[in-house]
Amino acid sequence: MTHLAKQALRAQRIETASWAYGNSGTRFKVFPQEGVPRDPYEKIADAATVHRFTGVAPTVALHIPWDRVADYAKLSDAAAELGIALGTINTNVFQDNDYKLGSVTNPDPAIRRKAIGHLLECVDILDQTGSRDLKLWFSDGTNYPGQDDVRVRQDRLAQALRETYDRLGAHQRMLLEYKLFEPAFYMTDVPDWGTAYLHCARLGDRAQVVIDTGHHAPGTNIEFIVAVLLQAGKLGGFDFNSRFYADDDLMVGAADPFQLFRIMHEIVLADALNANAGIAFMLDQCHNIEPKIPAVIRSVMNVQEATAKALLVDQPALRAAQDSGDVLEANAVLMDAFHTDVRPMLRELREDMGLDPDPMAAYRRSGYFEKVRAERADGQAAGWGA
Ligand code: LRH
Ligand code: MN
Ligand code: MN
């Protein structure tokens, strides 16, 4: 591996999600696990543990109100003491009885006001944590044709986004996430990157689109969306996870490592890997049946492997093959990189960084799980949505 590729991997940053450490499940059942954090402080401790063994996950995203605390500066200090920082603040306008017919697009102005109030409150939290990014996802939509007016709802959405955007500080950003369907089944107000892009373009430079890899129709060419948004300067970040059918929230790179490689190839081509490029690489996953901390470690490693392969693409050879119309050679150049076993190089890199070359084994040996299982034996475990 070249020196430059190693440097890029060393500088890579992947943000983990606080909710990945708590109990989670499906519509049918939440299976509780032992040793799960009971509050945001314990979630941060788990995130710091992932960073300790991977060296590339120094921030953790919060979700409000799941991670509501009295004093965010104190939470931030606690994170710093453990060697990490608080990252993206995720808003939540999807878990209140009032939001049955929508949050910011609800026909009732009082409910819209309440939802906007939450978004503004989350900007206050950004101020306190020192985080840069506010992430918005709206479950808003309709279940039946005729239920509400599409364009009126778009106007309501635009107003809410404008008010929130105008409240942002100069160094803060708004990341707008789209999702094809669920929980709304007929029409979702922000269903795709086009709608998200349109709103962000109207708002200004600090409004950017976030791609959750699980939020598309099956077969969607996600790397094309990545390329187009990068070219337009409108890609703000990713919620990484993998899916077989819908929004499965499985470990990134588990279902389709080739897709993850193709996404990272577009990132590398656009020179968008380093922090200055402003792309937030986040995980948005739920570990329903597998142990959580090692699942997050595995996910971080999967992103690293896809990135390493993308960095190995022989770009001059690829360009030459493309320019000469050599279809098979161009494809072969890409596939050669994808088929390279980058694990030995990543082990080497970790040793250079003073880490154990095998983060999974090092975590298992560390005794961290046994320690927290004992410490957290009483009290209520934090769950998805708590
Ligand atoms: C919606 C979503 C969004 C939420 C998270 C919990 O499906 O991807 O990012 O904040 O799940
Ligand atoms: Mn998401
Ligand atoms: Mn999702």
> Mind listing the pLDDT tens digit for each residue in 352-371?
999 999 999 999 999 999 99
**ipTM attached to this prediction:** 0.99
Output the CA 8–ligand 3 centroid distance in Å.
Answer: 28
Output the CA 212–ligand 3 centroid distance in Å.
Answer: 7
Q: Given this model, what pLDDT does residue 380 score? A: 78
DSSP state of 103: S
Count Cβ atoms below 10 Å from residue 358 Cβ, excluding itself.
Answer: 15
Output the CA 251–ligand 2 centroid distance in Å.
Answer: 13
Ligand 1 site, CB within 6 A: 90, 137, 177, 179, 212, 239, 247, 284
Looking only at the bridges linking them, the beta strands covering 59-63 and 133-137 are unpaired
- HSE at residue 184, side-chain half, CA atoms within 13 A, is 27
Query: Given the CA of residue 212, which atom of ligand 1 is nearest to it?
Result: 8
Instruction: Give the chain's residues under pLDDT 50.
Output: none
Which residue has the CA at smallest separation from atom 2 of ligand 1? 137
DSSP state of 250: B
Task: State the amino acid at position 47 in one-letter form.
Answer: A
Q: Given this model, what pLDDT does residue 378 score? A: 87
2-375 topology per CATH: TIM Barrel (3.20.20)
Whole-structure pTM value: 0.98
Q: Given this model, what pLDDT does residue 294 score? A: 98
Q: Which backbone phi and psi does 205 adopt, to 5 degrees?
A: -60, -30
pLDDT digits (tens, 9 = 90+) for 47-94: 999 999 999 999 999 999 999 999 999 999 999 999 999 999 999 999
Output the CA 331–ligand 3 centroid distance in Å.
Answer: 32
The two structure tokens encoding residue 77 = 């200090």
Distance CA 210, CA 231 (A): 14
DSSP state of 94: S
Q: Best of 94, 137, 242 to mutate for ligand 1, by most ligand atoms within 8 A of CB?
A: 137
As a whole number of angstroms, the longest Cα–Cα distance in the chain is 66
- Nearest CA among 349, 211, 366 for reference residue 282: 211
DSSP state of 18: G
Looking only at the bridges linking them, the beta strands covering 141-142 and 187-188 are antiparallel
* CB-based contacts of 144-153 (< 8 A; 24+ apart in sequence): 144/186, 145/186, 147/186, 147/187, 148/101, 148/102, 148/105, 148/107, 150/187, 153/102, 153/105, 153/189
Which residue has the CA at smallest separation from atom 1 of ligand 1? 137
- Nearest CA among 42, 88, 37, 92 for reference residue 64: 92
Query: Given the CA of residue 63, which atom of ligand 1 is nearest to it?
Result: 10
Q: 138 with 182: CB under 8 angstroms?
A: no
Q: Sort 376 into a burial class: Cβ within 10 Å, 0-12 / 13-18 / 19+.
A: middle
